[in-house]
Amino acid sequence: MEYTMSMNNTFLRGVNLGGWLLLEKWMTPSLFAGTEAIDEYTFMQTPGAAKKIDEHRKAFIAESDFKWLAEHGVNAVRIPVGYWVLEGDAPYVEATTYLDWAMSMAEQYRLEVIIDVHGLPGSQNGRDHSGRVGKALWYRSVDDRRRSVDVVVAIAERYKESSAFWGIQAVNEPRLGLLQWRLRRYYRAVYRALGGVLPPETKVVVSDTFTPRLMSGALRPTTQPVVLDVHLYHMSTLFAKYLSADWFLRKTKRRQKMLERLSRTQPIIIGEWSGVMSWETMRHVPKQQRDELFARYVAL
């Protein structure tokens, strides 16, 4: 789920269509049942995979979902895709028909769309949500980074005239780093390429790599608005299982203030977040108080 703020105080209230056009096993375990696959790369090498993934794409998200979102105050969707979404790259298969359909549904129900390039060639983080578990080879390959620019531009070219196309995200959750010179150069290359393609109001979204202070302002807007994508997963903090519920509340409040400060100079989108606390933390909270606690936590 996502919540977006911008400098002119307009808000998006949206959801991620995760596990649809890029598989994540924990989201759709039944699809992976009976296989040893751990990601989309290995899934696509199992018997009958092409038919299974096509049936999954047809059924997992339906028009009724877009209708429900529009009727319940949701005005945006973030759609994670792999670099192979338009042209495929064996063993991956393209999903152009389904992304086209999603854009038409968003237009029909007046939803804004962020197309998020969730998986880059070579993998930007070695995680399953990049398409392939393993090493983050994207950082080692100039060719992979150039291909990534081409992929982002191709997606932008295809949907630039859609009234639903709010923005395009150049990458999701790159590997953690300190200075991130390769990533910064990639952002600049993408931005330069998109300047000749997108309408002036379409946003270019960049990941904060879980370091919002460091990456805020990494890309200065000229032709297109630039939006910083921040992800909040406090339960994954080191030693989270030893921390109290009050710590989670205080942490979220501090993060809120920090993001408010950063948003004065750069629009921010909270592209992913979770209201989950660690199980060890919740064991110390009486059951009758947990619903109230979660409501307070999420409201922050």
* Residues with catalytic function: 173, 272
Q: What number of other Cβ atoms are within 10 A of residue 226's Cβ? A: 20
Cα–Cα distance measured from residue 147 to residue 165, given in angstroms and rounded to the nearest whole number: 22
Q: How far apart are CA 122 and CA 133, in angstroms?
A: 10
Count each helix (H run) and each strand (E run) in the chain, helices first: 11, 8
- Identify whether the C-beta of residue 19 lies closer than 8 Å to the C-beta of residue 10: no
Angstrom distance (rounded) from CA 94 to CA 21: 9
Give bridge partners of residue 16 from the DSSP assignment.
Answer: 78
Contact of 234 with 240, CB cutoff 8 Å: yes
| Token reading at 296 | 């307070």
- Other CB atoms within a 10 A radius of the CB of residue 289 amount to 10
Structure tokens at 162: 């859609």
Going 194 to 112 to 116 to 216, the CA torsion angle's sign is: positive
